[in-house]
Amino acid sequence: MIRKKTMNKKRIGIVLCALLLSGESRVVAKKDLLKTYREKRDLKKTPEPSGRVAKKGSKKKKALFVIQKHDASHLHYDFRLEIDGVLVSWAVPKGPSTDPRDKRLAIQTEDHPMAYAHFEGVIPEGNYGAGTVMVWDTGTYENIKHKNDELVSMATCLADGQIEIVLQGKKLQGAYTLIKTKWHEGSKNQWLLMKMKDDYVDARRNLLTSEPNSALTGRTMAQIAQEGDDAKKEVEPQKKQSPKKRVRVSKKSQKMS
């Protein structure tokens, strides 16, 4: 009887040990990709999404991309690609181009949570990145980077500093490349964003100015700034903008103001 009891105790001990070990290794194995994202923000003071890493979905072929127009201390475009459950991000001061001759500087910034892809609103004064954020373009992308006839994973492309993708956005289409520039002191995060040659090349177009409004809500930066992130109410389909009623100001009254 006594012997049986100790056996059971031993067995329970082994099971508990195994459970603890497996639990621990899982926690250690999961690298926290959004640590920097959370460290830079006080999420109680900004309407930006919380920093949760998305579970890896089923192996869907196409991943998400988003380009956000961000009127912070300097207006820039944030280019983000879904890679392994987060949005890997670059700040592109001049925005993307449809002309392969344009090499657009892209500075890699902290990974953002997937939920950021829908974020449009105002980051209040005093917070990191304070200013208006618009979803300028969004859609899916396909990795086309091959080496010896084999597709290179996005994680490897990122580590190697050589990304080649085809965008299927509401505005941007076709192949783009992101190339990490040679490392000098203090330039660790510098990449170049360039259009690759294909049918979507158009050196005469400038989508940044011809299609300046939100790809999600059709709003202008000014409208977002005014309405904040509270525009989930009803998203009106983008109307052909009727010429705004201009308030006629006579020269006389202009002088007076």
Other Cβ atoms closer than 10 A to 163? 25
Q: How far is the CB of 89 from Mn ion (least distance, A)?
A: 8
Q: Measured between alpha carbons, how far is 50 from 40 in angstroms, rounded to an integer?
A: 12
Q: How many residues bind Mn ion (CB under 5 A)?
A: 2
Q: How far is the CB of 71 from Mn ion (least distance, A)?
A: 9
Among 41, 70, 80, 112, the residue binding Mn ion under the rule CB under 5 A is 70
Strands (E), the chain: 63-71, 75-83, 86-92, 104-113, 121-123, 131-143, 146-147, 150-151, 162-169, 173-180, 190-195
> Which residue lies nearer to Mn ion by CB, 87 or 172?
87
> Which residue lies nearer to Mn ion by CB, 70 or 104?
70
Stretch that binds Mn ion, among 63-71, 93-101, 202-210, 213-221 (CB under 5 A): 63-71
Among 41, 53, 65, 78, the residue binding Mn ion under the rule CB under 5 A is 78
Q: How far is the CB of 252 from Mn ion (least distance, A)?
A: 44
Rounded to 5 degrees, φ, ψ at 115 are -60, -20
> Which residue lies nearer to Mn ion by CB, 129 or 161?
129
Q: Does 112 bind Mn ion (CB under 5 A)?
A: no
Q: Are 173 and 204 in contact (CB under 8 A)?
A: no
Quote helix, strand, coil % in the chain, to nearest 5. Answer: 25, 30, 45
State the residues that interact with Mn ion by CB under 5 A.
Answer: 70, 78
